[in-house]
Structure formats: structure tokens, C-alpha cells
Amino acid sequence: MDPYFQSDDIKLTDFLRGVKNYSLYILKRIYIVILATVFMYYAGRWFAYLSKKEWVANVSFNAIDAQGGGGFGGLMSLASSFMGVGGGTSNDVLSGVFSSRTTIKATFLEEREVNGKTDKLGNHFLEALGYMDEYKKTPGMEDFKFRASDLYKMNYLEDSVMAELYLLFTDDYLEVEYDPLTGLIKAGVSSPVKELSTEVCEVMIRNTKKYYSSRNYEKALESYNKLKTRVDSIKSAMRYYDNLSAKLLDQNVFNQKQEGVVDKDDIARQTTILSIQYNDAVSSLEAAKSVLNAESDVIRIVDQPAFSTELDYRDPDFWGLIGLAVGAGLSILILCLVKASKDSFEEERQEQEKTNTSFS
């Protein structure tokens, strides 16, 4: 028999024998596995119950012109495409405005009623997270509250706390993502208080709409001014060629030189080109004027926070199953390690006895 196959056969036999021995060892102590599994199952459920529960206010929205439709976006695209100012608005920009420092900080300085108490949303938020109690124990911050009416009137302490609050809020209590399948920006604002989550989310979307509309108006005004300058420039050029053409017509046909005929043809061509450019520029100028006078919304809100606030918590059944799996696996692993340790000690004892016998 080939010694290599014999060696492999012995190893496989040893492995199967080891599996059998370990299995029997675990079965004899199955009560330990059952107790550990039951304990970890309820520990997992208890962990889920003790975990913090937060209310999440959801909102989904997009720019009305984001899909390249008509209305405000269509006019904006038409007005700006002629001058290369930028064809409409972007959901990327809109989501950036929603999560910007200006939007969030201005939101926290808004006064709203939460659970029967009217105060600035930043104070409500700090109170809900327990920071106000910590401030009362901190020298110099015992009576801290946001009191500024706007971002430009905050003192140094308010500005410092607001900066920390912004980082905390964006890291742990705000989620914003763009869903390309639906074309919607989906955002969630969370806090321990349902009414607070709803109010913060509603004020944020309102401020986003205000700042985003202002941005669009500024862009439309820039496009309008450039187009108006363009129209005036073309009109001046057309007036120049009209005057030049009139001078040529006033010349005596018998005294006209050949170079005059060439000039007349060139004037006709330039006049035709300028007429086409003028018509395009006037159309774009009218579109830009319509954008400036437009009062339609530039943001489409699909899910309102007031109707989309829900409780976010850990599922006890899910965490119970995780605890069950961890309990079973961990107890079996520990029993296997105990069995391996006992076998190792037994082998060392037997080796020691053989050594002592050989010496005697």
C-alpha cells in the first residue's frame, strides 16, 4: 500500500473520530447550550427594548425643472441656454441647499411650539438630547440659550454651540440621499421627540425653498441682464448697417463704383444674419422676463413631514434571533475549547507517565 494514501486515510479517520468525540461531549452537556441560547435570546430582546427610540420625520422632494419639464424650469432653460448661463436647476444643488449650514442653522433659530412650549428649535433640540442639563453644570454656560434673531446676530458662545450642534445634527440626526429611480431627494430628520422632528424638517424644507428660489431668481436676473445687453448690441449693429445701406442708395447710380456694389451685397448678408440673431435674442429675453415674473413654486414636495413622521426602533424579534445564534455558537465554541484543553492535559499526563515508566 502506498504510504501516502495510508497517511491520508489515518488523518481522515482521526478527524472523523475527533468530530464524533466532540459531538458526544457537547450532547452530554446540551443543557449548557440550551441555557446559553435562551439567555442570549432574551438578552438580545432586552437590548432592543433598551436601545434609544427616535422619531424620524421624512420628506421627499425635487426641483420642478429637474426632469427638464416646462413651466419655470422650461423658461429658465430657454432663457439661459442662449447665453450659456446654465440649463435649469439640479437636484444635486437642491440637496446641497437642504443640508447646508445656512439652512440648518437658520432652522435652529426659528421659534416653534413643541409639546406646549414655545422656544427656538435649537434650544428644543439641545433640551431633548440632554445638553441643557450639562450646560447648567458648566461654568459660564449655566443659563445658555439661543437668543439671536438671525445668524448675523449670534454672539461668540452661540456661534460656537451652533457649530457643534450642526456637526452633531448632520452626523447623527440627518440623512439625505438622491434616488435616481424616482428622481426624488429623500431626507429624514430624527430626534427623541416626534413633534420636534416634524417641526425641524418642515422648517428646513421651507428654508430650502426660500434659498433655492432666491438662487434661481439671481440666476434668472443675470441671464436677463446679459440677454438685454445682447439685444441692444445687435440692435445697434442693425442700425449701423441700415444707415450704411441708406447712404449707398443715395449715391448716383451712374457714378457708383464697383466696390460699392460689393459693399451693398455684404451689407445685405450682415443684415440677414443680424435679423436672425435679433429674433433669437428677443425670444430668449422674453423667456427670461417671464422667469423674473413667475410666481410658481420651484420645488415639488411629494411627502410632507407632517404625514411622514414615524418611530424608528430596533426590532426585538430580530435582535432576539441574533442573540439566539450568538448564544448557541458561543456556547458550542466554549465547550469545544474546554474539550480540547482537557484532551491536551490528558495527553501530557499520559506522556509524562510513559516517561516516568521508562526511567524506572
Identify the pLDDT of residue 199. Answer: 94
The domain of 350 spans 3-50+315-359
Cα–Cα distance measured from residue 176 to residue 173, given in angstroms and rounded to the nearest whole number: 10
Same domain, 256 and 293: yes
Q: Tell me: the pLDDT tens digits for 136-195?
A: 998 989 899 999 988 999 999 999 999 999 999 999 999 999 888 888 999 999 999 999
In the chain, the number of structural domains is 2
Same domain, 302 and 283: yes
**Is the model's pTM score more than 0.75?**
no
Identify the pLDDT of residue 217. Answer: 57
How many Cα neighbours within 13 Å face the side chain of 349?
6
Same domain, 290 and 332: no
Same domain, 319 and 298: no
- Torsion angle (degrees, nearest 10) of CA 174, 178, 181, 182: 70
Query: Residue 279 has which C-alpha cell?
Result: 429674433
CA nearest to 201, candidates 337, 54, 51, 11: 54
Query: Residue 128 has which C-alpha cell?
Result: 431633548
Same domain, 168 and 275: yes
Cβ partners under 8 Å of residue 54, min gap 6: 173, 190, 191, 192, 197, 311, 312, 313
Cα–Cα distance measured from residue 58 to residue 74, given in angstroms and rounded to the nearest whole number: 29
Same domain, 243 and 136: yes
Identify the pLDDT of residue 289. Answer: 65
Give the H or E element holding residue 204: helix 194-250
Give the H or E element holding residue 176: strand 174-179
Put residue 262 in one of left, alpha, beta given phi > 0 → left and psi -120 to 50 → alpha: alpha
Query: Residue 242 has which C-alpha cell?
Result: 441700415
How many Cα neighbours within 13 Å face the side chain of 65?
23
Same domain, 202 and 257: yes
Same domain, 305 and 325: no
Give the H or E element holding residue 346: helix 316-359
Same domain, 189 and 223: yes
Identify the pLDDT of residue 59. Answer: 93
Three-state SS letters, 258-297: HHHHHHHHHHHHHHHHHHHHHHHHHHHHHHHHHHHHCCCC
Identify the pLDDT of residue 43. Answer: 84
Identify the pLDDT of residue 317. Answer: 78
Q: Give Cα separations from 60 to 24, 67, 186, 234 (angstroms).
A: 58, 15, 4, 45
Query: Residue 263 has which C-alpha cell?
Result: 459693399
**3-state SS assignment for residue 303:** strand
Identify the pLDDT of residue 359. Answer: 61
Cell 472523523, residue?
A: 16
How many Cβ atoms are within 10 Å of 137's Cβ, its own excluded? 8
Cα–Cα distance measured from residue 325 to residue 330, given in angstroms and rounded to the nearest whole number: 8
Same domain, 87 and 227: yes
CA nearest to 193, candidates 106, 123, 143: 123
Identify the pLDDT of residue 112. Answer: 93
Identify the pLDDT of residue 262. Answer: 47
Residues in the chain where the model's pLDDT stays below 70: 1-11, 48-52, 65-90, 214-224, 244, 246-264, 285, 288-297, 312-315, 356, 358-360
Same domain, 225 and 119: yes
Query: Residue 2 has which C-alpha cell?
Result: 502506498
Cα–Cα distance measured from residue 125 to residue 104, given in angstroms and rounded to the nearest whole number: 12
Same domain, 28 and 76: no
